[in-house]
Chains A and B, each alone.
Chain A
Amino acid sequence: MQGAPLVGPSIVMSSALSLAPLLAGIVGESNVLTAAEDLVPYGFDGTAALRQRPAAVIFPTTTQQVAECVRLAIQASVPIVTRGSGTGLSGGSVPRADSLVLCLARMNAILDLDLENLTLRAQAGVVTQTIDQTVAPHGLLYPPDPGSMRISTIGGNVAENSGGLRGLKYGVTRDYVMAIETVLADGRIARFGSACVKDVAGYSLKDLFIGSEGTLGVITEVLLKLVPRPAARQTMLALYDDIEAAASTVSAIIAARIIPCTLEFLDHMTALCVEDYAHVGLPTDCAAVLLMETDGHPAAVADEAAKMAAIAREHGAREVRTAKDEAEALGLAAARRNAFSALARRRPTTILEDVTVPRNKLAAMVTFIAETAEAHHLEVGTFGHMGDGNLHPTFLTDERDGDAMARVHHALDAIVTRTLELGGTITGEHGVGLAKKPWLRQQMGDDSFEVMRQVKHALDPNGLLNPGKMFD
């Protein structure tokens, strides 16, 4: 699907449109959009070259409204595409022409902050960063911090099981979801998980919904786990003349039993683009930069930082710099979060991958990516959560250039094949959606793939929840 010709404006006269008055009865007139000017902007997410105008967009504000809308749509056989902020990078919230977009951006209330149990309950449309901002004054931390956290929704994060810059030490979204409330395909409201730290009652269906990309239900509410905010942190930049050396530093740090909170990788192209935008003093004259961060007890931080710097030097770092203060550290992390968008400064279209490999295979992978780009005459910028083995090779191209797009496709194919050979996965955090769909069976194998399809069929027998995503 990636790079496929775009489908034009909605030509399907859909029954979603005829539902509009009934939907307005549920969510109110101003929360139902059907005009062309209102719909065009819901035709895409953050993924390149995928576009399709939906039939209608609605903004429910309560779980009850979601349930009623879902019931109505299912009865009329209208497909539902759930959407948070549309920052997804696998085309997950790109609609179909006949579908109803259920946008949760206005369902954004924080419902409860429990300072005794260290939990926070929120509606699905709350922006990720708002959660951390809400808990920070209480000395608490909500660790998952995807690059898009200033605008992505917690519902989108749960639906994609998003990672972030701190994934190495703190884990991903899944590790912080204690319970969810979700509207099922038939309009029933189900709750999975609980406020208990331990809970083995029945199947862990909460985990089935995490990462389900809007294909199994509409997540309406989440209960999140919080942790104490670390007392200290130190941020460093290691500079390399050779990208493999950066990769082997990461493997060596892991092998040395050090778990820093952040080990982010930026190649020369990425560093150049990020610096061009953010002016934070990222070096632009080296082949690779590692952004390393350790946090925790001040003494432990100092000790770990020293060890990491030493390992980086042993593995060929030309220089290791330490951020002089909190402001500089925050600036560097913020700049890194913009890496993907900043790469778009170079060329009109940016097509990014999300391949992830076991961390001792990183050096092999980064080299392979560089070679593949060269072999296909493509410009590439690679960055990623290297501590997680998660790389984002990003091809810089122009979607109007058919020949270049074909070469991108070949390069992607090669990278995916190599990733699977190395025991990796086609997606570490962005999800399958439309963009990775062609390779899911290849990774899973027939039987495992079929089990997934059976699960989908059991929960959404009519195939109306985000149809065409993950599998056909």
Chain B
Amino acid sequence: MADTLQTLDYAVLQQCMHCGMCLPTCPTYDATKHERNSPRGRIALMRAIADGDLAVSQAFADEMSYCLGCLACQTACPAGVNYAELFETARSTIERADAQPGAARSFWRWLTLRLIFTRPRLLRAAGRGLRLYQRTGLQTFARRTRLTALLPPAVRRVEPQAPPIAGAFSNRLIAAHETPTGEARYRVALLTGCIQDLVFSDVNRDTADVLLANGCAVDTPPVQPCCGSLHAHNGELDLARGLARRMIDLLPPDRYDAIISNAGGCGSHLRHYGSLLADDPVYRDRARLWDTKLRDVQEWLASIGPRAPKAAPFDEPVTLTYHESCHLVHGQKISRQPRELLRLLPGVSFVELPESSWCCGSAGVYAITQPDQAEALMRRKTANIGSTGATVVATANPGCQLQIIRGLREAGGSALVLHPMSLLARAYRNERG
């Protein structure tokens, strides 16, 4: 995969025949009706840069920051445009051109992308620090004394949004090797993710339980590197490559029937190590094999024939709806399988969510970089959820889960927001009475 638009295979840009069929699916075009804010417009800008007709300007950087990276356009595009690759190459071009100045920005980028999100132990340490901050009253103290005002603006904006850190991380909840009762039909590796691990480590536990209940032996290395999706998304392709190599070393793909991800955003990146490492002679082949083994957990369960739970996840009957994570539905084209799994749940009536695949505005760090648009999308999502009358919302990506929890809280809604694996795990557990 090329690092800049100028070196990218021109055919990738040419693939867009500017028909405009993607426009109605793009949340940012929907908001402004400006071509520049549309997939077609962004690709035209990229092409102009490749052609040397346009500089890698601040305005271009802003535009690529405004793009959600939700990939709705890629699903809509009949011409087969690989927007994911264009998006990452564009962001990488911007990083290399240093179009986004500012020492403070550089420092925070360095701290997060280069330092914390490449070192899993450091990330957990940061998580523990945040947990301490949130639970000891320090947060309240800092806010009341306006100490938070000393934080850089970007961090100040997220500080109140920082999710509650889980009491225990995945390594404390899941053993390195777990086997199902009865015969193991498959051997799988479970990826615990970064945000999932810090905030929703219980989802990882639930995922392991569901896999076990479906006859899979589960390997979960206690310390796992970040998959690199955050880095690739933010234009740091070299870091992303380094992380991909470490991941492949940790979990050699030839040992497993499947390598399981339960976070839509991670999975979407994880299944493209092959193209990321295409120019690496040492890792190329293993990376390709890795891609063939990488499965979203719902995709995997649907493919092996999931066992229907015999008990309901809740004591009372509930109405359930499903929000599609962009990177699950558009990035990985997984849409049918989660619904099939949810429909297996006893005591649950499933209703379709209007605009289920319209971005909720979480989109990685989007809520930090583009708060207004993120907010608007969140409101649209919660209004749609409200219209279904559902009391439980299922979604399979930690970013979406956080965003919707926050959105519903702000809107005064009371619906529970859970990963489909948590719902299934609850049901399986209830079988034991």
Contacts and interface: CB of A to CB of B under 8 A. Distances in A.
B33 A340 contact: no
Contacts of B60: 37
12 contacts: A33-B34, A37-B63, A40-B48, A41-B45, A42-B35, A45-B18, A59-B33, A106-B33, A341-B17, A341-B78, A344-B80, A399-B14
Contacts of B59: 35-37
A150 B45 contact: no
Given A344-B80, A345-B79, A46 B15 contact: no
Nearest to B21: A341
B41 A150 contact: no
Interface string A269-305: 0000010111000000000000000000000000000
A41 B23 contact: no
Interface string A316-359: 00000000000000000000001011101100111000000000
Q: Interface centre among A87, A276, A344, A399, by most B CB within 10 Å? A: A344
Nearest to B44: A41
A151 interface: yes
A48 B57 CA distance: 27
Given A8-B53, A44-B44, A85-B23, A38 B36 contact: yes
A33 to B, nearest CB: 7
A158 interface: no
Interface in A431-453: none
A41 B23 CA distance: 13
Given A36-B54, A41-B40, A348-B11, A340 B35 contact: no
A86 B19 CA distance: 8
B310 to A, nearest CB: 31
A462 B352 CA distance: 56
A399 B14 CA distance: 9
Interface string B20-62: 1101100000000111101011101100100001100101100
A193 interface: no
Contacts of B54: 9, 36-37, 40
Given A127-B24, A341-B77, A342-B79, A37 B36 contact: yes
Interface string B71-104: 0000001111000000000000000000000000
Interface string A28-63: 000001011110111111101000000000010000
Contact of B21 (A45, A106, A338, A400): A338
A100 B34 CA distance: 15
B41 A41 contact: yes
Contacts of B42: 41
A380 interface: no
Contact of A150 (B11, B17, B24, B48): B24
A105 interface: yes
A463 to B, nearest CB: 26
A151 B35 CA distance: 12
* Most central of B11, B35, B48, B60 by chain A CB within 10 Å: B35
A36 B38 CA distance: 16
A203 B45 CA distance: 46
Contacts of B53: 8-9, 40
B45 A85 contact: no
Given A36-B54, A41-B45, A44-B44, A348 B14 contact: yes
A425 interface: no
B20 A87 contact: yes
A46 B11 contact: no
A338 B78 CA distance: 6
B23 to A, nearest CB: 5
B79 A151 contact: no
Given A41-B45, A45-B18, A105-B33, A151 B23 contact: yes
A108 B30 CA distance: 12
In order of increasing CB-CB distance, the 8 nearest A-B pairs are: A41-B41, A41-B35, A341-B78, A348-B14, A344-B79, A338-B78, A344-B17, A37-B59
A44 B18 contact: yes
Contacts of B17: 46, 48, 341, 344, 349-350
Contact of A349 (B14, B20, B21, B34): B14
Contacts of A103: 33
A466 interface: no
A148 interface: yes
Nearest to A398: B14
Residue picked from B15, B40, B60, most chain A C-beta under 10 Å: B40
Given A40-B45, A85-B20, A87-B20, A341 B79 contact: yes
Contacts of A35: 59
B32 to A, nearest CB: 9
Contacts of B44: 40-41, 43-44
Given A344-B80, A345-B78, 13 more contacts: A40-B41, A40-B54, A41-B35, A127-B24, A148-B19, A148-B20, A150-B21, A151-B24, A338-B78, A341-B79, A344-B15, A344-B78, A345-B79
